[in-house]
Amino acid sequence: MTTADDAEAYLGIESEGDVSGTQLRGDSDPLRVGTLHNNAGADLEVRSVVVDSIGDDTVNDDIVTIAAPNPGRTIERNDSTAVTIECNDDTTVGEQEIVVRVARVTGTGISIAEPTFTATVDIQCGKGKFSGSADLNVSDVGTGDTTQTVSFDVGAVKNKDEVTIDFSNPQQNGGVDYSGVTDGDLTVQSQGHGGTVAFDSETSRLTYSPQGNEDGTITIEISGIDVVGNPGESYPVSYSDTTGRDDGDFFDIT
């Protein structure tokens, strides 16, 4: 195990180094490649961690994606969280060095951006049943907006599965009021997706149950929202489904 950043820094970063002894397959559990340590003396919130590059210029950098930590993950003071990766494409490229970039971590009076670390991974994403990442995307909103869109990949969820999108953080923290949203305020904008969509205003959660074997990206518009926060604020939204996938995204108030 190697240390990429000073262990006494606000954010300590440890790389697992060479983890090529365990293949990363399409059906693998997420593979740990590093650890983030909170040395700041206050809670830190992860905004974004990304796979910056894989191998040389001949390898598609999108083959592998970050499984954890998701955007919005809080690392409590003196605690740590694992950085794990998973397949994002059913392609095999063998042993490669990946560069992971901690795009942004924030806390009270603290903003940490752009540190990187490397790990060596045996990428065998063409092996095993590939489900792919959720690729959650939540649109930004303006102070006068009454609609917002959310999109995600639906290919891994089948007829009896369910997706949950949790908007409770902006609801509880004064960003956007979703208490007036009903099922009738939801519109599936993408074609080929005929599942059941619902919104629970008490929990601020949207659910989607696919019909048959849907594929691709689904986009859902939510009407009837009330933007109560101020420009410049940002809020996390989380994704989970019954196949075990989870993801997250931030949206800004503009």
List the domain boundaries for the chain. 2-124, 137-252
Please provide residue 238's backbone torsions phi and psi, each rounded to the nearest 5 degrees.
Answer: -115, 155
For residue 246, the model assigns a pLDDT of: 87
Q: Which fold has domain 2-124?
A: Immunoglobulin-like (2.60.40)
For residue 52, the model assigns a pLDDT of: 95
Q: What mean pLDDT comes out for the span 85-92? A: 91
Q: How far apart are CA 76 and CA 88, in angstroms?
A: 29
Q: What mean pLDDT comes out for the span 199-220? A: 93
- Token couple for 81: 């969280």
Whether 137-252 and 2-124 are alike in CATH topology: the answer is yes
How are beta strands 176-177 and 226-227 bridged, if at all? antiparallel
Residue 2's pLDDT band, with cuts at 50, 70 and 90, is: very low
For residue 214, the model assigns a pLDDT of: 85
Q: What mean pLDDT comes out for the span 69-75? A: 93
- Three-state secondary structure call for residue 169: helix
* 181-187 contact pairs (CB < 8 A, 24+): 181/222, 181/223, 181/224, 181/225, 182/224, 185/222, 185/223, 185/224, 186/220, 186/221, 186/222, 186/223, 187/220, 187/221, 187/223
**pLDDT 10s digits, 218-253:** 999 999 999 999 999 999 999 999 988 888 999 999
Q: How far apart are CA 121 and CA 127, in angstroms?
A: 15
Instruction: Give Cα separations from 177 to 31, 130, 182, 222, 248 (angstroms).
Output: 37, 37, 12, 12, 19
For residue 237, the model assigns a pLDDT of: 95
**Side chain identity, residue 15:** S
Q: How far apart are CA 101 and CA 112, in angstroms?
A: 11
Whether 119 and 34 have beta carbons less than 8 Å apart is answered as yes
For residue 57, the model assigns a pLDDT of: 86
Asked if the 137-252 domain carries CATH number 2.60.40, the reply is: yes
**pLDDT 10s digits, 13-67:** 999 999 999 999 988 889 999 999 999 989 999 999 999 999 998 999 999 999 9
- pLDDT above 90 covers what percent of the chain? 74
Question: What is the rounded (10 degree) CA torsion for 36, 163, 153, 52?
Answer: 0
- Token couple for 45: 């919130």
- For tokens 């950098």, the residue is 61
Output the average pLDDT for the chain: 91
Q: Is the pLDDT of residue 162 over 50?
A: yes
For residue 4, the model assigns a pLDDT of: 42
Partners of 122 in the β-ladder: 23, 95
Q: How far apart are CA 216 and CA 212, in angstroms?
A: 13
Radius of gyration of the chain (CA): 19
- pLDDT above 70 covers what percent of the chain? 96
